[in-house]
Structure 1
Amino acid sequence: MEKVSRKHLLLVSLMIFSMFFGAGNLIFPPQLGQLSGTHLLKSLMGFLLSAVGLPVLAIAVVAKAGGLHVLASRVHPRFAFGFTILIYLSIGPFLGIPRAASLAFEMGILPFLSNELSSSKFPLFMYTLIFFTITFWLCLAPSKLVDRFGKVLTPVLLLLMISIFITNLFNPIGNFTPPTGDYINFPILKGFLDGYMTMDAIAALNFGIVISNALKTMGITKKKYLVSNSIKAGAIAGLFLTIIYGMLAYLGAVSNVNANSTENGAQVLTKVVFDLFGKKGSLLLGLIFSLACLTTSVGLLTSCSQYFEQLIPKVSYKTWVVFLSFSSIIFANVGLTQILKISIPMLTAIYPVAIVLIFLELISQIFKENSIVYLFSIVCTSIVSILDALGQFGIKFTLLNYLPLYSKGLGWIVPAIAGILIGCIYEKLKIRESQQNSPLNLKKSRI
């Protein structure tokens, strides 16, 4: 019987955690805690549903389907080809990886530079060159990722964050404050929307191939055991994410930072660390952000390279790592602000489609995995998400304002449900028509 030891399963789980936990995951929870205040538990509950629940479900769904391409093929083979490539490129070398490197630079290096150097592009270039050289080296041996992440990088990252939390317990910096904005009346929904914006479900679709290959190096080859162990490892990683998110949200809630004086969670976390450790806190924060971004970049670069090696076998995995590392350096040097201008609309268009695809797979037995249902639902979702993304480029479509939950960023939900219903009705009508036109029924009608 193929079996993974508890130790190895834990190491795989830590690897998954580190691939998920990037700089964005450091930023959202402290801001949630700061703004929700005394409603922290309610808002955190909603946050965990989307920031942890969706990614873990995505891992399970991809493992069950046998890969992202197979999952997307439920809609149509051409859709699978285009959507899978778009997912890997957007969350990988074109947007996700360069964004991680740029954010690590701005949080970990930029605060230490003089005004003259900070206005120059040379420091960013040197940092990204070193960053992606290390990333490249780690990606060259994907079979060693479990050991390097599980035994070294992730434990260091966890210890650094836990040290901040424990230090605050012994040296409290503040108390819970009243909630603000939507956290007053809708803390659970607002928390869910905040977690939704981490967009880790897309990353989970990418990481499926890395998790599967990691388990194969441990001797797991049968699909049944690959699926079960992937789900177990994903669930344990989700538990780690839950604990760390809880700690970060708590730190934000007791930070005593005025909501009007900060623009994002990075500033909240910076204030907390500086209050606890003084100027030395900048070194600690820089190390945490750099490690978080590094592990995420390695995970994304590895998954992209492994996928494109499968897609084009004539090009080796190492060649893909070289090419994607080089392209990531180029895009990273565009600058974080420019990357965000492109990435947010791109992810706005893709993310709802990814969520609906995951949800359809979960309920696929209800409609017997009929491709028509997949097609109608994905088309309806895509229309809304693409139009919404175009709106962020200034091309507004006022009709979208009439969609329920559109103002909350969830305007695609009703069209997705409508697509499922239309697909089911269409399929039933098609079956009924085929039965009526069958030779047996035609013969009866003649009699």
Structure 2
Amino acid sequence: MRDNLKANDILALGFMTFAFFLGAGNLIFPPQAGLLAGEHMFSGMLGFLITAVGLPLIGIIAIAVSGGCWKGLTRDLPVSVATLMAVLIFIIIGPAFAAPRAGLVAYEMGFKPFLSDESELELVLFSVSFFTIVMFLSLFEGKLIDTIGKLLTPILFVSLSILAISVIVNPLGDIGAAQGTYIDQAFTTGFLEGYNTMDTLAALMFGMLIVDVIRKKGINSDAQTCRYLILAGVIAAVGLTIVYVSLFYLGATASTVAIGATNGGSILSSYVTVLFGSTGQIVLSTIIILACLTTVIGLVSACADYFSILSDKFNYHQWVVILSIASAVVSNVGLTQLIAVSIPVLFCLYPVAIALIALTFLRSFMPNPILTYRVVLGVSLMFTLIDAAKVGGVDMSMFSGLPLFNYGMVWLVPTLIAMIVMRFVDPKKCQSSYA
């Protein structure tokens, strides 16, 4: 038994956390945002970093100060509500959406470009191979630092470093003009683009998994566990910042090589091909497949860990097998329909998760924490249903007068007002409700 981790274990823990967050989507969003931001790249990038790096880091810290578990984070909520919220987050961010999508992106951007004749069989074979590797590496729960932090992430980090240095030293063009909403609202637009990465939800999942990894390394002290979890979050945040800054700059200088590009993936692919020539696609494929692989390992491991604790019907290893098979199947069948259903659910969960994280740090200032949590999260959910319905295609124009309606953030102002009001609630007047 020991009370401290070695320096290389701490670094590996941070690398593992970095790799968990850095999925394929995180590599695709910044180039597109950089291209559109153009001359306003710095203000757009700042907004993006706040929500794509800042919020996930704060989420990791919230888990740390709450004892490293979901129960600590939601102790002032009814158990049934807290459990339902956790299950929804794990299902949507896990086998129902994020994990299958990552597998599909790995195929589309990492493997498909090398095929001369594509058919459904290639996707099936790739999915089976990809999720078999995920399953195998996820089964070794206590070895995640070694397999991810010490093996896969360094390869990923070296590949990204080559790309980042090449982009900065040898940009393929000048920074272009701003486009769309980046012309007048660069910071706000970047802020919202980072919001769409959904990494704050992932932080709540990964935080609990990282705590488990730390404890399997022999650290039982709550104070030390909290310290190492925060250190891992900081290392991951630094790594993500470096990647996002370089990819933003890549996008901002890509106007001449990404003509006709419709998304960040095609911008990244075009840029890398021109930059590295015939080996460019190999470099990009290595980055994409490793980014997807490490993220899905984190997702499957986190889901398996939670569900094995929630129910003793299946153990961790059985859940890994179930989730890996489910993700492989979903990546081949009905993904488009699942995405259509998942996005409105994410719009419901994400603001509530942000409010929950905020309350973790404000709890000691609230006279009645139990009432505060229920009122604030209830208000957040009620108003975010408007955003979710709008994203789902329902006509919600009757609410267009609400603040931030056009930005998909109707929930923000009412949630802040609820927090302020609950700060001045007299606990004695509400005491009988919880006797």
Query: What TM-score bracket applies, with the shorter chain setting the length?
Result: over 0.9
Q: Is residue 140–residue 321 contact of structure 1 (8 Å, CA) maintained in 2? A: yes
Give the equivalent residue in structure 2 for 1:71. 73
Give the equivalent residue in structure 2 for 1:175. 174
Give the equivalent residue in structure 2 for 1:54. 55
Unaligned runs of 5+ in 1: 436-447
Q: Distance between the aligned counterparts of 2:430 and 2:266, measured in 1? A: 62
Following TM superposition, by how much is the alpha carbon of 1:284 offset from its aligned partner in structure 2, in angstroms? 2.0
Q: Distance between the aligned counterparts of 2:36 and 2:47, measured in 1? A: 14
Q: 1:103 aligns with which of 105, 118, 126?
A: 105
Following TM superposition, by how much is the alpha carbon of 1:162 offset from its aligned partner in structure 2, in angstroms? 1.5
Counterpart of 1:431, as a letter, is K
Give the equivalent residue in structure 2 for 1:332. 331
SS at match of 1:351: helix
Q: Is residue 55–residue 200 contact of structure 1 (8 Å, CA) maintained in 2? A: yes
Q: Distance between the aligned counterparts of 2:260 and 2:71, measured in 1? A: 45
User: Residue 433 and residue 152 in structure 1: after superposition, are their counterparts in 2 closer, same or farther (change >3 A)?
Assistant: closer
Following TM superposition, by how much is the alpha carbon of 1:403 offset from its aligned partner in structure 2, in angstroms? 1.7
Are 2:241 and 1:265 aligned? no
Q: Distance between the aligned counterparts of 1:418 and 1:260, measured in 2? A: 45
Pick which of 203-212 and 397-406 moved more.
397-406
Matches within 5 A, 1:81-120: 81-114=83-116, 117=118, 120=119
Following TM superposition, by how much is the alpha carbon of 1:169 offset from its aligned partner in structure 2, in angstroms? 4.2
Are 2:228 and 1:226 aligned? no
User: Residue 169 and residue 54 in structure 1: after superposition, are their counterparts in 2 closer, same or farther (change >3 A)?
Assistant: closer
Give the equivalent residue in structure 1 for 2:393. 394
Q: Distance between the aligned counterparts of 1:184 and 1:96, measured in 2? A: 32
Q: Is residue 164–residue 243 contact of structure 2 (8 Å, CA) maintained in 1? A: no
Pick which of 162-171 and 201-210 moved more.
162-171
Counterpart of 2:126, as a letter, is Y
SS at match of 1:109: helix
User: Residue 194 and residue 393 in structure 1: after superposition, are their counterparts in 2 closer, same or farther (change >3 A)?
Assistant: closer
- For 1:342-368, what per-residue CA distance to the aligned partner results, in whole angstroms no more than 9, with x for missing partners? 332221111111111101111111104
- For 1:6-63, what per-residue CA distance to the aligned partner results, in whole angstroms no more than 9, with x for missing partners? 2211110000000000001101111121111122122111111111110111011012
Matches within 5 A, 1:410-421: 410-421=409-420
Counterpart of 2:97, as a letter, is L
SS at match of 1:365: helix
User: Residue 113 and residue 365 in structure 1: after superposition, are their counterparts in 2 closer, same or farther (change >3 A)?
Assistant: same
Kindly name which structure, 1 or 2, has the bigger radius of gyration based on alpha carbons. Answer: 1
Counterpart of 2:229, as a letter, is S
Q: Distance between the aligned counterparts of 1:129 and 1:433, measured in 2? A: 55
Q: Distance between the aligned counterparts of 2:429 and 2:348, measured in 1? A: 36
Q: Is residue 20–residue 203 contact of structure 1 (8 Å, CA) maintained in 2? A: yes
Q: Is residue 44–residue 249 contact of structure 1 (8 Å, CA) maintained in 2? A: yes
User: Residue 204 and residue 369 in structure 1: after superposition, are their counterparts in 2 closer, same or farther (change >3 A)?
Assistant: farther
Counterpart of 1:208, as a letter, is G
Matches within 5 A, 1:1-80: 2-66=3-67, 67-80=69-82
Give the equivalent residue in structure 1 for 2:428. 431
Matches within 5 A, 1:37-436: 37-66=38-67, 67-114=69-116, 117=118, 120-257=119-256, 261-334=260-333, 336-368=335-367, 370-424=369-423, 427-428=425-426, 431-432=428-429
Q: Distance between the aligned counterparts of 1:139 and 1:32, measured in 2? A: 33
Counterpart of 1:80, as a letter, is A
Counterpart of 1:64, as a letter, is V
- For 1:360-380, what per-residue CA distance to the aligned partner results, in whole angstroms no more than 9, with x for missing partners? 111111104611111111111
Counterpart of 2:428, as a letter, is I
Aligned sequence identity (%): 37
Q: Is residue 23–residue 103 contact of structure 1 (8 Å, CA) maintained in 2? A: yes
Counterpart of 2:157, as a letter, is L
Q: Is residue 35–residue 179 contact of structure 1 (8 Å, CA) maintained in 2? A: yes
User: Residue 133 and residue 341 in structure 1: after superposition, are their counterparts in 2 closer, same or farther (change >3 A)?
Assistant: same
Q: What's the TM-score once normalised by structure 1's chain length?
A: 0.91
How many pairs align?
A: 430
Unaligned runs of 5+ in 2: none
Following TM superposition, by how much is the alpha carbon of 1:5 offset from its aligned partner in structure 2, in angstroms? 2.5
Following TM superposition, by how much is the alpha carbon of 1:167 offset from its aligned partner in structure 2, in angstroms? 2.7
Following TM superposition, by how much is the alpha carbon of 1:141 offset from its aligned partner in structure 2, in angstroms? 0.5
Q: Is residue 72–residue 84 contact of structure 1 (8 Å, CA) maintained in 2? A: no
Q: Is residue 172–residue 257 contact of structure 2 (8 Å, CA) maintained in 1? A: no
Following TM superposition, by how much is the alpha carbon of 1:433 offset from its aligned partner in structure 2, in angstroms? 7.5
Q: Is residue 200–residue 354 contact of structure 2 (8 Å, CA) maintained in 1? A: yes
User: Residue 347 and residue 11 in structure 1: after superposition, are their counterparts in 2 closer, same or farther (change >3 A)?
Assistant: same
User: Residue 386 and residue 433 in structure 1: after superposition, are their counterparts in 2 closer, same or farther (change >3 A)?
Assistant: closer
Q: Is residue 367–residue 423 contact of structure 2 (8 Å, CA) maintained in 1? A: no
Q: Is residue 173–residue 254 contact of structure 1 (8 Å, CA) maintained in 2? A: yes
RMSD: 2.0
Counterpart of 2:298, as a letter, is G
SS at match of 1:261: coil
Following TM superposition, by how much is the alpha carbon of 1:244 offset from its aligned partner in structure 2, in angstroms? 1.1
Q: Distance between the aligned counterparts of 2:191 and 2:258, measured in 1? A: 20
Q: Is residue 366–residue 422 contact of structure 2 (8 Å, CA) maintained in 1? A: no
Matches within 5 A, 1:432-447: 432=429
SS at match of 2:366: coil
Pick which of 53-62 and 382-391 moved more.
382-391
SS at match of 2:333: coil
Following TM superposition, by how much is the alpha carbon of 1:336 offset from its aligned partner in structure 2, in angstroms? 4.9
